[in-house]
Structure formats: structure tokens, C-alpha cells
Structure 1
Amino acid sequence: MRTGTPPAPTTSGGAGGPALLLVAHGSRDPRHAATVDALVHRVRALRPGLDVTTAYLDHCAPRIAQVAGRLGDAVAVPLLLNRAFHAKTDIPAALRTAGADLPLADVLGPSPLLLDALDRRLAEAGLPLRTAAQRARTGVVLAAAGSSDPAADAATRALAAAWRRSRGWAAVEVAYASADGPRVPEALAALRAAGAVRTAVAPYLLAPGRLPDRIAAAAGDAHVLAEVIGAAEEVAVLLLDRYDAARSSAGARRALSA
């Protein structure tokens, strides 16, 4: 099995401050780890001197227990779009088990940077985005993984609403590749019923794998199917934003306790 980015050789943040421990979900699909590797390269290019180490919850190596316990000064940043079970339970538990008392950053979503990344993927897929009139005739399916956590699904729906308002789409419908809720064909039908002349499907997922493949297979009636968000520059910037915020909060807490 292909593994992700190997652990960094040092245990401190080096010239760039505390190390960034990027915590990804992991997948048996090798495209997942390849995407994480590409994203790590982007983060390192944006902030030279920052130590970036990857750990996975499942399927890939190294696991959190192999990495987190030996890190000294570091901030853990989850490579997750929503604050659901993995963010609330799995990652904190894995860090505790590893004996790592690390600041834990917030998840990536929601963020305007994710909307920019979604726009980028739609444009790359050939969707005309230059004018307000083109957007006003286009309906988009925001195709997410889905979650059993109502708050996580509510956050996805709120992001879809913000995307429609800020970009002027004819409509944005949420669909899920798993869990309960509308599927891509139902969402496409809702877009057409809302008057969309052109339809597009934008996977709200960070890496290729089983769920994105399921979304692609269901998107046959759409005019445009975008790629997953992947190692977009906006995601790298957002990871550093989350790292900086968690680092600042941890520093403030240490100052208060002192």
C-alpha cells in the first residue's frame, strides 16, 4: 500500500514556528495519499521553513500514534471539510492515545476560500463563469459525502446557500454520496425545476476515492462535472490560516496561565 508523507526528521517547528501536523482521513485508494502529498508540497512552498508532517486516521501510514507522540512543539490541523465525528471524536482521541497534548485547529469548512476552490474546479471543467448572466442561468449541485451529524450537514447547506448568494447561481442544491438525503440525480432534477438552463456537479470532497467515483457515476445528466477540490492552492492557504489561528490561541492560553 502506498503511504503518505513520511514523518519529518525533527520534533520541533524549526524556523517556521511549531510544526504543522496535517491529520488526514486516509483511504485504500492510492489517489488519496497522492493528493495529500501534493497538498503538503503546496503548504511547504507557501511557507518555507515550516516543518509539515502527515498522519492518517486509517488505511494509510504513518498513523497518528506513530507521529504525534514524538512531536514537541506542533499544531494538529485536520484535513476535513466539516466538524463531524472524525473532528469531534476520532482525532482528539487518537492524539490523547498517542500522549500528544497538541493544539488542535479547526476544520477547513466553511470558508470563502473553499468557494473559490470550487469555482476553480468548475472553470477547469469548462463551465463558463465570466459573466453574471452565465452564472444566473447555471445551477450547481454541491455533492458532499454526507454525515450522520446534523450540524455537519447544516454547515454544508449553509455553504451552498452562501455560494449561491455570493456567486449569483440560478440555484445550488446539496446532494450526498452516503448517509441520508438527496442524491445527485434528485438534486439535478431540482435544479432543472428551478429553471436552470445549464447544470454542473461540484464534488465537495478533498481527494479522489470511492465517494467521488460514486458522485461521478451519478452525474450523467449534468452538463459539467468538476474534479474534487484536491490540492488547490486555496486549500493550502486555508490550512495555514487554521494553523495560525490555533497557534495564536494556544499562545494566548499559555500567556494567561503563566
Structure 2
Amino acid sequence: MRLVTVAHGTRSPAGNAVAVSITAAAGARLGLPAVAAYVELAEPLLSTVAASPMPSVVVPLLLSTGHHVRHDVGAGRALGPDPLLARAQVSRLLAAGAQPRQPVVMVAAGSQDPLALRDLLVATTHLAQAWGGPVRLATLGGLGERPADVLRPGDAVSPYLLAPGHFHDRCRDAAAGHVVADVIGPHPAVVDLVVERTIGLLAARRSA
């Protein structure tokens, strides 16, 4: 048995390295061989990894429900929303210099899928609970309001993005003049979440 994670993929080597780091750490914790795969823009592609006969448990590193989760990965659940992701976001906000309970705008890539917007609203609630202050949602595309329409003077920004790349660059540009946290990245809480999901999938497989 091996762990296969699935990230979107980006042309940014640093962005793809985030998935590799999370996957390696989770695999080491679980005592399983582990490989990070991608939907597009990076190698190895999920289609290539899935062609192996080795039994695998697949955990998406995609933060919201959407086309990639349902059609490309075929998984029933995205990585987010989850309180563990919110814990990582709080850590990134504090590291960037945001003040506790300062108003925060969570900026996500966005999607045309209503289920993705639902997930983002839940993620916003998780972050507000973890942060202890008001959090509003903005999206860079798809459904939802844009950062320019949501951001107010004095807001901090929490990118709801796993890795650096195109959307992270757009987020920083849209939030110029505000405190902008780093992407969620390979935070220990994210590794905890991948481990938790893997254990749950393995248990479900054994009981099936």
C-alpha cells in the first residue's frame, strides 16, 4: 500500500515542491511509500501514477470541491474545508505580522462550482473561529466577490492557497498595501490532516 496525494500542479517549481514536502512528511508518519501526483502542469501526472498496479490510497491536496476533485481525482472529499487548515492559516497570519483579532479577508482562487463556494464559506467560518476575529471571503475568479470589492483599510489577507504560483501572485497584487500572509504550505497541521484522512480511508477500505 502507498499514499498518493494529488495537487493541482503549477509551473512554479516552488509550488510543486509544497506537495512533495507534505506527501513525504505524511508518508514518513504513516510508514508508507508516498508519491505526490498532479492534475496538470507538473509531473508525475495522476494518470501516470494511477496506471501502476500498486495498491494506493489517494488523498487530494485540493482545498475545495470542484471539477478536479469529482472528475479528475474521483475522490469523494477535498482536503478542505477543515479546522486544521484554519490553524495553519492563523500561523501564517501571525508570522506575517497580522495582529490577533485584526479583520481578515480570506482570498481563494475561486470556482464556478456552487459546491466550491459552499466549501469556501465554511473555510471562512473555520478561520474566523480559529483567529478569533472577523473574516470575510474574496475570490480571484468564479463565484464570489473580488478582493477590490471586499478589502478595507486595516484588513489582513489570508490566501486560501496551498502553494505559491499564479494565484498567489494575483493575490499579492490584489492586496497591495495590506499585510498578506504566506500560502498555507507544508505546515505541520496540513501534514496532520493528510495523515488523518489517510488513516480514515485505510480504515474504510478494511471494513468494506
TM range (shorter): over 0.9
Q: How does 1:1-258 map to 2 (within 5 A)?
A: 18-47=1-30, 49-92=31-74, 104=75, 106-129=77-100, 135=101, 138-169=102-133, 171-189=134-152, 198-222=154-178, 224-253=179-208
Residue 202 of structure 2 aligns with an amino acid whose one-letter code is R
CA RMSD of aligned residues (A): 1.7
C-alpha contact (below 8 Å) 1:117/1:234 kept by paired residues: yes
Deviation at 1:121? 0.4
Residue 217 of structure 1 aligns with an amino acid whose one-letter code is D
For residues 48 and 129 of structure 2, what CA distance do their matches in structure 1 show?
44
Q: Specify which structure has the bigger relative contact order, considering alpha-carbon pairs within 8 angstroms and separated by 6 or more residues.
A: 2
**Which position in structure 2 is the counterpart of 1:6?**
none
Distance change in 2, residues 1:81/1:165 (3 Å):
same
Deviation at 1:105? 6.4
For residues 41 and 135 of structure 2, what CA distance do their matches in structure 1 show?
33
Structure 2 stretches lacking a partner, 5+ long: none
Count of aligned residue pairs for this structure pair: 208
Larger-Rg structure: 1
C-alpha contact (below 8 Å) 2:107/2:140 kept by paired residues: yes
1:183-217 deviation per Cα after TM superposition (whole angstroms, max 9, x unaligned): 1122113xx5xxxxx42000000011111100100
C-alpha contact (below 8 Å) 2:104/2:157 kept by paired residues: yes
For residues 6 and 206 of structure 2, what CA distance do their matches in structure 1 show?
21
For residues 159 and 81 of structure 2, what CA distance do their matches in structure 1 show?
15
Deviation at 1:107? 1.7
For residues 78 and 207 of structure 2, what CA distance do their matches in structure 1 show?
20
C-alpha contact (below 8 Å) 1:107/1:242 kept by paired residues: no
Residue 109 of structure 1 aligns with an amino acid whose one-letter code is G
For residues 183 and 200 of structure 1, what CA distance do their matches in structure 2 show?
15
TM, length-normalised to structure 2: 0.93
Residue 42 of structure 1 aligns with an amino acid whose one-letter code is A
TM, length-normalised to structure 1: 0.76
Deviation at 1:45? 4.1
1:215-244 deviation per Cα after TM superposition (whole angstroms, max 9, x unaligned): 10011232x110100111111110111111
For residues 173 and 68 of structure 1, what CA distance do their matches in structure 2 show?
38
1:79-98 deviation per Cα after TM superposition (whole angstroms, max 9, x unaligned): 11111111011112xxxxxx
